């Protein structure tokens, strides 16, 4: 059987696989070997808390897709547009210009990413992405994380106050296709992230249309990658600092849109630390719950 037309005719063949609203700025530095590491009085996060899991949320309460669509509508031509005005708002149909993903050395990728990062960071209005994100994190994600900490004995009970640091703004990622580009396997420790953080990853587009999702290994170094089975209306928790992950190419002409962020947990996370030779590329909000 002949492959689908889009699979044999990729529109994206150079540069980055995704346009993202933040970028890793970590560079190898000889100073890294002398880094004393973060101070974590409680040591390593409990294994039960680091276990990959998928958390469902109520889309009638916490749907970030409409705010993302509004943001993309005004983001400008370097980020992309909807070719069909009648389907404006359907995130899978959003088109990112191939030029905006080209080799960052040529500048275009860096410029488009920096612009998208600025648009996300400025979306503070009521009903905008950041307020919706804050509500989602504080009302759904952190209480769930707190329950998990209490369940494994890391907290005396669910009422014990605990401090969290969550990445704000979150990272918005657009992965258009059909593409030959992919995100190589890596652990976030490679980019200066510390053990006491957890990663959260949520798709805003249907995997049945984009045919792509993030792949994770089950344990650090296991190399047994499997695709994350997750739907819109769910957010995955995983320990991306130690578990390697990658994203295969998007073979379809639908764009994958996702949001991800990290959360540091008091006692396990050092808010004052950044690896020598790296520059922090995410700002964080501190909350006590
Ligand atoms: Fe990563």
Delineate the domains of the chain, giving CATH numbers in brackets. 47-269+283-288 (2.60.120.620)
Helices in the chain by DSSP H: which ranges?
A: 5-8, 47-50, 65-73, 108-121, 129-136, 142-151, 207-210
pLDDT value of residue 107? 60
Q: Please give the distance, rounded to the nearest whole angstrom, from the Cα atom of residue 187 to the centre of ligand 1.
A: 6
pLDDT value of residue 63? 96
Q: Please give the distance, rounded to the nearest whole angstrom, from the Cα atom of residue 240 to the centre of ligand 1.
A: 6
Average pLDDT of the chain to the nearest whole number = 90
Long-range contacts of 142-148 (CB under 8 A, 24+ apart): 142/166, 142/263, 142/287, 142/289, 143/289, 144/55, 145/49, 145/198, 145/237, 145/263, 145/265, 146/289, 148/48, 148/49
pLDDT value of residue 277? 66
pLDDT value of residue 234? 98
Q: Please give the distance, rounded to the nearest whole angstrom, from the Cα atom of residue 25 to the centre of ligand 1.
A: 13
Q: Please give the distance, rounded to the nearest whole angstrom, from the Cα atom of residue 245 to the centre of ligand 1.
A: 6
- For residues 268 and 40, is the Cβ–Cβ distance under 8 A? yes
On the question of pLDDT at 232 being above 80, the answer is: yes
pLDDT value of residue 89? 82
Q: How confident is the model at residue 171 (pLDDT cuts 50, 70, 90)?
A: very high
Name residues whose C-beta falls within 8 Å of residue 6's C-beta, 6 or more positions apart in sequence. Answer: 177, 178, 251, 252, 253
pLDDT value of residue 1? 44
On the question of pLDDT at 5 being above 50, the answer is: no
**For the residues 60-82, what does the mean pLDDT come to?**
96
If one compares 116 and 105, the residue with the highest pLDDT of the two is 116
pLDDT value of residue 36? 75
Q: Percentage of the chain with pLDDT > 70?
A: 89
Q: Please give the distance, rounded to the nearest whole angstrom, from the Cα atom of residue 241 to the centre of ligand 1.
A: 8
Bridge partners of 54, per DSSP, are 236
Q: Please give the distance, rounded to the nearest whole angstrom, from the Cα atom of residue 3 to the centre of ligand 1.
A: 31
Report which of 211, 27, 193, 25 is spatially closest to residue 117, judged by C-alpha positions. 25
Q: Please give the distance, rounded to the nearest whole angstrom, from the Cα atom of residue 189 to the centre of ligand 1.
A: 9
- Token representation of residue 110: 């860096």
Q: How confident is the model at residue 239 (pLDDT cuts 50, 70, 90)?
A: very high
Q: How confident is the model at residue 238 (pLDDT cuts 50, 70, 90)?
A: very high
Q: How confident is the model at residue 33 (pLDDT cuts 50, 70, 90)?
A: low
**How far apart (Å, rounded) are the C-alpha atoms in residues 266 and 271?**
9
Q: Please give the distance, rounded to the nearest whole angstrom, from the Cα atom of residue 214 to the centre of ligand 1.
A: 10
Q: Please give the distance, rounded to the nearest whole angstrom, from the Cα atom of residue 97 to the centre of ligand 1.
A: 24
On the question of pLDDT at 197 being above 50, the answer is: yes
Residues with CB under 5 A from ligand 1 (ion): 188
Q: Please give the distance, rounded to the nearest whole angstrom, from the Cα atom of residue 233 to the centre of ligand 1.
A: 21
């Amino acid at each position: 059987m002949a492959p689908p037309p889009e699979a044999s005719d990729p529109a994206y063949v150079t540069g980055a696989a995704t346009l993202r609203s933040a970028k890793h700025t970590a560079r190898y530095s000889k100073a890294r070997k002398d880094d004393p590491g973060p101070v974590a009085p409680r040591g390593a996060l409990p294994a039960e808390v680091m276990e990959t899991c998928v958390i469902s949320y109520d889309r009638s309460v916490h749907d970030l897709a409409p705010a993302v669509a509004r943001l993309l509508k005004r983001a400008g031509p370097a980020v992309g547009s909807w070719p069909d005005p009648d389907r404006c708002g359907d995130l899978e149909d959003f088109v990112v210009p191939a030029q905006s993903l080209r080799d960052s050395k040529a500048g275009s990728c860096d410029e488009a990413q920096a612009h998208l990062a600025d648009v996300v960071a400025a979306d503070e209005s009521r009903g905008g992405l950041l307020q919706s994100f804050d509500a989602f994190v504080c009302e759904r994600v952190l209480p769930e994380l707190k329950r998990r900490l209490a369940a494994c004995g890391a907290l005396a009970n669910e009422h014990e106050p605990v401090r969290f640091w969550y990445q704000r703004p979150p990272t918005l990622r657009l992965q258009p296709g059909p593409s030959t580009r992919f995100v190589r396997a890596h652990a976030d420790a490679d980019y200066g992230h510390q053990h006491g953080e957890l990663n959260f990853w949520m798709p805003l587009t249907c995997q049945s249309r984009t045919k792509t999702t993030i792949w994770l290994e089950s344990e650090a170094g296991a190399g047994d990658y499997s695709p994350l089975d997750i739907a819109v209306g769910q957010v995955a928790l995983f320990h991306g600092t130690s578990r390697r992950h990658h994203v295969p190419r998007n073979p379809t002409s639908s764009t994958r849109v996702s949001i991800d962020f990290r959360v540091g947990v008091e006692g396990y996370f050092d808010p004052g630390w950044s690896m020598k030779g790296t520059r922090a590329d995410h700002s964080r909000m501190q909350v006590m719950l």
